[in-house]
Amino acid sequence: MKRGLTLSLTLAALVGALPLVFAPLSPPVLAQRKATSTDVPVIPHEAVPFFKNTPGIYTGENMGIATNSKGNVYVYHRANETRLFEYSPQGVFTREIGANNYGFAFAHSVRVDAQDNIWAVDEGTDMIIKFSPAGKVLMTIGRRWDPVEMLGNMPGSGAFHGRNLKNRFGRQTDVAFDQQGNIFVSDGYSDARVVKFDKNGRFVKAVGTRGNGENQFSTPHSIASDFQGNVYVGDRGNARVVVLDNDLNWKTTFTNVGNPWAVCVSGGPGPKNPGKQYLYSSNSWPDSAPAHSAAFTGEVYKMELDGTIVGKFGRAGKAPGEFATIHQMDCRDPDVIYIAEINNWRSQKIVLKPRTATASGN
C-alpha cells in the first residue's frame, strides 16, 4: 500500500509538471545589429598570453570574468558542470571555488565587490551566491526551484513569465554594487527588470516590464555601476544601454553601439574614488556564430559615461585578439580588459593602446 501511494504521488507530481515540460522556450534574442555609430577611432589592442591551466584543468564556455583588488582573476564557466576558477595575477590556476554547491547549475556571470567578495550569478538555479575571498558562502539571493518544478525548466531554458517577485529571479543575468554596498541585479531572460537590494540582501525596489519603451527591457543581459551610483544596463534585445539613477529612475539610453551583451565601468567597485571612469560595451558576435553577422559584430566600444564614444577595438573571429561571443568583461583598469568568450571556450587579457587610436569609417 505504501509503495502504491508513493507511486501515485510521484505520477501526480509528474502530471502536474507536464505544463512546464511543454512550456515554450524563451524567444531568442533579436538578430544582432550593426552599430549605427560611424567614424569611430580604432584603439590598437594586443592579446597578452595569460591563462595557464595545470594538466587536467580546462574551461568550457567562459561566461563570466572578474578581477579583485589584488589582481586575481575569476572565471565562471560551463564545462561538464558549472565551475568557478581563480587565477593568480600571473595567470596561474590556483583553486576552484564553490565546487558541488547547490547554487551552481548554469553559469552566467561573476563579479567582485569592494571587499573582494566574489558573487556568482547562476541563471540555471535562479540564484546569486556571495563568497568570501577565502571561498566561504556568505549570502544567497534567490532560490532554486524544487526538482519537480525543474523538469520542464532545465538550465538555460524556460518560458518568459515576468513574475516580478521580490526575492525570486527569472534567469537573472548579472550583478553590480554601489558605494553603500547596495546590490543591483539584471533579471533577466524570464523576467524583464532591474532589482535593487540593500547590502544585507533585503529587497528595496524593482523596475521594468517587457517592451522597448521607458522603464522596459528586452533581455537585460549585463549591468554595471559608476562611482556616483548610476546604473548601466545592457538591454540586449532592445539594442541599447539604459542608464538609471541609484533609485532606478530612468535617465537616458545609448542606442548607437549595437546589441550590448556585456557592459562594464572602469575603476573597480571602490571604495576609493577611481577618478575618471569609462563605460565599455560589447556588440558581441552571437553565440551561434552565424557567418553572416561576423562582418559587423564582435567589436567593443569605449565610451565616456555620458555616452560619447572614445573608440572601439576588436572584431569577430577565432584568432588571439578577436572575439567569438564576448559574454562578460572586466575593466577595473581602463587599459587592461579581461574578456570571457562563449564560442572560443576561453578568456583573454587585452591590453589597449589608446594614445595611438586611428580613425575608422564604420
Mean pLDDT score across all residues of the chain? 89
Please choose, from the candidates 57, 167, 194, 185, the residue with its C-alpha nearest in 3D space to the C-alpha of residue 121.
185
- Domain ranges, ordered by start, for the chain: 33-356
Residue 165 has a pLDDT of 83
Distance CA 266, CA 33 (A): 25
Q: How far is CA 271 from CA 105, 152, 277, 280, 355, in A?
A: 32, 43, 14, 21, 28
113 has pLDDT over 50: yes
Numbers of helices and strands, H then E, in the chain:
1, 26
**CATH code of the domain made up of 33-356:** 2.120.10.30
DSSP category for residue 193:
E
Q: Which of 27, 65, 38, 30 is nearest to 235 (CA)?
A: 30
pLDDT of the residue at 291: 84
pLDDT of residue 237: 96
Statement: residue 15 has pLDDT above 60 = no
Distance between terminal CA atoms of the chain? Answer: 73
Task: Give the pLDDT band of residue 54 (cuts 50, 70, 90).
Answer: confident
Check residue 154 and give its pLDDT: 58
* Residue percentage of the chain with pLDDT more than 70: 86
Region 197-213: mean pLDDT is 97
Angle at 66 between CA 203 and CA 136, to 5 degrees: 65
State whether the Cα torsion 209-215-219-222 is positive or negative: negative
Q: Which three cell numbers stand for residue 170?
A: 527569472
Q: Kindly report which listed range (158-172, 296-310, 324-338) carries the lowest average pLDDT score.
A: 158-172
pLDDT of residue 289: 78
pLDDT of res. 269: 87
pLDDT of residue 19: 43
Q: Report which residue type is found at 183.
A: I
Q: What single DSSP character describes residue 35? A: -
Which tens digits make up the pLDDT trace of 247-279? 999 999 999 999 999 999 999 888 888 999 999
* pLDDT for the residue 310: 97
Residue 360 falls in which region: left (phi positive, over 0), alpha (psi -120 to 50) or beta: beta
Q: Is 72 helix (H, G, I), strand (E, B) or coil?
A: coil
